[in-house]
Structure 1
Amino acid sequence: MPKLYFSTNLRHKNYHIFNKPVSKKEFEQKRKEILSSYSNLEKAKKEFSEFKKKAIVKYAYQIKCHNTTGDYMYNCHDVKYGFDTENSKNCRYVADAESTIDCWDMNNTYYKPELNLDVMGALQTYNVKHSVYVLTSSNIEYCDSVHNCESCFGFIGLKKKKYCILNKQYSKEEYEKLKEIIIGNMKKEGVYGDFISPELSPFGYNETLAQSYIPMNEKEAKEKNFNWQDKTTGTYGKETIKEGEIPETIEDVSENPPDGRVDILKEILVCSDCKKNFRITSAELNFYKRMHIPLPHKDFECRHKERMSKRNPRKLWHRKCMKSGCNNEFETAYSPERTEIVYCEQCYNQEVY
């Protein structure tokens, strides 16, 4: 396996650091130096972040795609505004989708959901609308947590049911008649076709994955009728090791140390970002030791937030290829304010390969 460290846009290379070739010995020495302490690792990460700002990038991460717009896509056909989507066709506004067909406004959908609209969480579904967590079901509207059901409207948490409205069983004729009455009233109120109201969510917007992909502050979230959690779970001010006292190197950390070193598994740490307390588990410590990585100084939520910030946003801008003389235009997740040099696929391949 090629050995590369903090490099980008390289092909068929080995022993490179910050895109510069080095000998095998130099590579190992530099790698050990970077990982020798938390400060050195953070310094290298910041240098690489600045280094990437001047890099050439392809307008989108797409492989085997035709007539698509979006990012992180594989084997898609006629998909517009798709993100983290694969093996899908004829879709609009989909994310985290696999084998999704003829669907619109979908998230977390897998195993051939078809003719679905406005659904969050679907697996092997057909003709499902405005619903949440629907599995192997068909002809479903305004439902939540549905398993193996057919022709149901406005119910929650049922399995293997048919012709139900508000969790009550009806005959087929009664179901069709009552459903039309309900839809008619919803249309008069102007709410039919809307997704389930966000006010009904048991979670605050800032507690969900939505905050990772589409960050909003409290004011922005509440303007869109989302709930907000003022105080997220966790403890503060209980640390037994202060922020600046967390060991710099993994060699200074041990379990049940006989020599007076820090027994990190018995300590309570404090996040350098959010100031929330966190602990190191035994399995986690074993991983850091095996990989020769210094202990983190941030809790797992802030580390997750940092990783997510390195991904492109789920938003597109219309731009032109920045290669001189090229007039290709495209939809890209790289905003015009960013410093990367954005190329169309043809120009990128000519430059990098």
Structure 2
Amino acid sequence: MPSCQKCQAEFQIHDDEHAFLKKITFKFGDKSYNPPEPIYCPECRMVIRTCHRKEWNFHKNKCAITGKDLISLYATEPLWGKPYTVYAEDIWVGDDLDPMKYGREFNFSCSFFEQFAELLRHVPRRSMCTVDNQNSEFTTGAGYCKNCYLINSSENCEDCYYGKLFQDCSDCIDCSYIYNCELCYESFFLQRCYHCLYLLHSQNCQDCHFSTNLNACKNCCLCSNLHQKEYHFRNEPLSKEEYEAKVKEFMGSHEKMNKMREELMEIYETQVHKYSNIANSKNCTGDHIENSKNCFDCYDMTESEDCKYVQVGFQVKDNYDCSNMYIKPELCYEVLGTIEVFNCAYSIFVFNSQNMLYCDYCYHCNDCFGCSGLTRKKFCIFNKQYSEDEYNELVPKIIEHMQANNEWGKFFLPEYAPFGYNESVAQEYVPLTKEEAKEKGYLWRELKDDIPQVEKTIPADQLPDRVEDIPDDVLNWAITSQKSGRPYQILKPELAFYRGQNLPLPRLHPDERYSRRLELRNPRKLWDRKCDKCEKEVSSTYHPSRSEKIYCEQCYLTEIY
């Protein structure tokens, strides 16, 4: 059994992984290459990949063409090398960018990764990573969204604010991992829900609040593990009139709703939990998987098949060791952040492309190697155009050079990442201190908040309890979090949402609200344990030492149906 060259832990390479590595093939004339066996364990592979992805903590920067101020993923002070050249979104997709002029020949006396890092310092970077968004300047890792603000990992959404992994949603605020939802607030992992507040791990629900693990329920509050129920309060049936009177008692008041949330957390900790959140799926392990088959050690997957070690995927097929894969990516290995790609490996943010190796920020491209910032190109190496024959002759030489230098088969190196570990997605999955991150070879950035230019500042705990007592000019205030003192502001459409839904203003900074929701998810790691009722062996994200009651599928269904 091999040992990880990063953390020294032993790990297995299973037969299905060997078969997949033979299946994904890159052909260049009469030569073909497959990815080699991994030298890092699955967790370290995931961490190395996701330290190159950033979803929060944006920076003020300037467009290199217009000089106008903009919000960007990239800071003006680099963690290594010279600063990135950053273009505004509209400039980057316009006619002013010619990434081919930065093309260069491959230098066989230098390492691939050193040369590629140097190329990235010259090719202009898109300020945010988006695809065809409208009026959604402060979003990244998002596509086809309209009127959205500070959401990421999202597609086909409208009027959504503050959260992660919104898919086909509208009018939702402060949610994470929600699909086909509308008018939801402070909710976590929902499927097809309407007008739900503080709802967790539920599907097909309407008007359900402060509840968890509901299926096909309506008008339920402070409930758990219910199926096809209506007008239930603390899991007890009430008449319509009794139920509405109960709910009316707390709606609109921050103090009362906060107590309801505390009660929800008590319910969540003491209820029976299914070993894993897997629904309508066959032969899958991991967590938060729906309508999928043959997905192993995968997380947050929908409508996917034949995958392994994938985190966050929608309509994914034949992907191993990938993260944030959306809308029909197929046959990918060690890829981060894609939409509709085929046969790609060791790449970041490639969209609508195929046969891509070691590429970054490329759109509608085919057969490119070591390129960045290209659109509608093929047979390019280091942003330099070649004929098909030249391409097929040169790429094998580069691969063999990488093999000789122990580079072929490695993802982009952490020391060349554009972000500090603490501002990357890796920190969410495997939290590290500054000392731990640096010891492991990752970068680190000291973060600070910009103070908004506002008329006045008010501590969150001095806000009126009820939203109807909030004046219109709150839009001109900075509110300081009651937890950390970090400043934040309320947007005009956000205030309209709170008033329309009779919700008090939030008392925490958006980052803190997100972190609080993140605490509701288990580690992306599997342990062998036994069902607490029948002692059947299960593979679960609940560590055996945890106190929750964990049931296998059959015992759980018997419990709630």
Q: TM-score w.r.t. structure 1 length?
A: 0.89
Map 1:113-262 to 2 at 5 A. Answer: 113-235=329-451, 240-255=457-472
Q: Distance in 2 between matches of 1:252 and 1:19?
A: 33
Can you give the 5+ residue segments of structure 2 that lack an aligned partner in the other structure? 1-205, 207-217
1:16-55 paired onto structure 2 within 5 Å: 16-55=232-271
- Give the superposition deviation at 1:141: 0.8
Would the alpha carbon gap of residues 160 and 286 (structure 1) be closer, same or farther in structure 2, given more than 3 Å must change?
Answer: closer
Q: Is the 8 A contact 2:316 2:328 kept in 1?
A: yes
The match for 1:278 among 468, 476, 488 is 488
Distance 1:291 1:338, change over 3 A: farther
**Measured at CA, do residues 236 and 136 of structure 1 come closer, stay the same or move farther in structure 2, by a change above 3 Å?**
closer
2:510 alignment partner in structure 1: 300
CA–CA separation in structure 2 for the residues paired with 1:298 and 1:75: 35
| Contact 1:237-1:277 at 8 Å conserved across structures | no
Instruction: Say which of 59, 79, 82 aligns to 2:275.
Output: 59
Q: Provide the rounded CA distance (Å) in 2 between the counterparts of 1:247 and 1:130.
A: 51
Is contact 2:332–2:345 with CA below 8 Å preserved after alignment?
A: yes
- Once the two structures are superposed, residues 280-300 of structure 1 have per-residue CA deviations (whole angstroms, 9 ceiling, x without a partner) of 222222211121111111111
Alpha-carbon distance in structure 2 between the residues aligned to 1:16 and 1:54: 19
Please give the per-residue CA displacement for 1:285-340, whole angstroms capped at 9, x wherever unaligned.
221112111111111111111122222332222111111xx232121122224332
Instruction: Please report the RMSD computed on the Cα atoms of aligned residues, expressed in angstroms.
Output: 2.2
Given the superposition, is the C-alpha separation of residues 228 and 26 from structure 1 closer, same or farther in structure 2, using an over 3 Å criterion? farther
Kept in 1, the 8 Å contact 2:285–2:296? The answer is yes
- 1:343 corresponds to which residue? 551
Amino acid at match of 1:197: L
- Is the Cα contact below 8 Å between 2:460 and 2:508 reproduced in 1? no
How far apart, in 2, do the equivalents of 1:177 and 1:26 lie?
Answer: 77
Task: Write the distance in 1 (CA, Å) between the matches of 2:225 and 2:488.
Answer: 37
Gaps of 5+ in 1: 256-262
Q: Note if contact 2:452-2:478 (Cα within 8 Å) is conserved in structure 1.
A: no
Deviations 1:108-160 (A, max 9, x none): 22333222110012222222110011122222111001122222111101122
Q: What one-letter code is carried by the residue in structure 1 that aligns with 2:506?
A: P
Amino acid at match of 2:523: P
Counterparts of 1:337 and 1:35, CA distance in 2: 37
Give the secondary structure class of the aligned counterpart of 1:268. Answer: strand
Cα distance in 2 for partners of 1:247, 1:277 equals: 17
SS of equivalent residue, structure 2 residue 445: coil
Instruction: Name the CA distance, whole Å, in 1 between partners of 2:238 and 2:453.
Output: 46
Q: Distance between the aligned counterparts of 1:36 and 1:133, measured in 2? A: 42
Q: Do the aligned partners of 1:57 and 1:340 also contact (CA within 8 Å) in 2?
A: yes
Other-structure match for 2:324? 108
For 1:302, give the aligned amino acid: E
Contact 1:18/1:48 (CA < 8 Å) preserved in 2? no
Say whether the 8 Å CA contact 2:459–2:482 is kept in structure 1: no
Query: In 1, are the aligned partners of 2:368 and 2:380 still within 8 Å (CA)?
Result: yes
Match of 1:300, as an amino acid? P
Instruction: Report if the CA contact (8 A) 1:87-1:98 is conserved.
Output: yes
% identity of equivalent residues: 38
Q: Is the 8 A contact 1:56 1:340 kept in 2?
A: yes
* TM-score for both structures, normalised by structure 2: 0.58
TM-aligned CA deviation for residue 57 of structure 1 = 1.3
Letter in 1 for 2:423: E
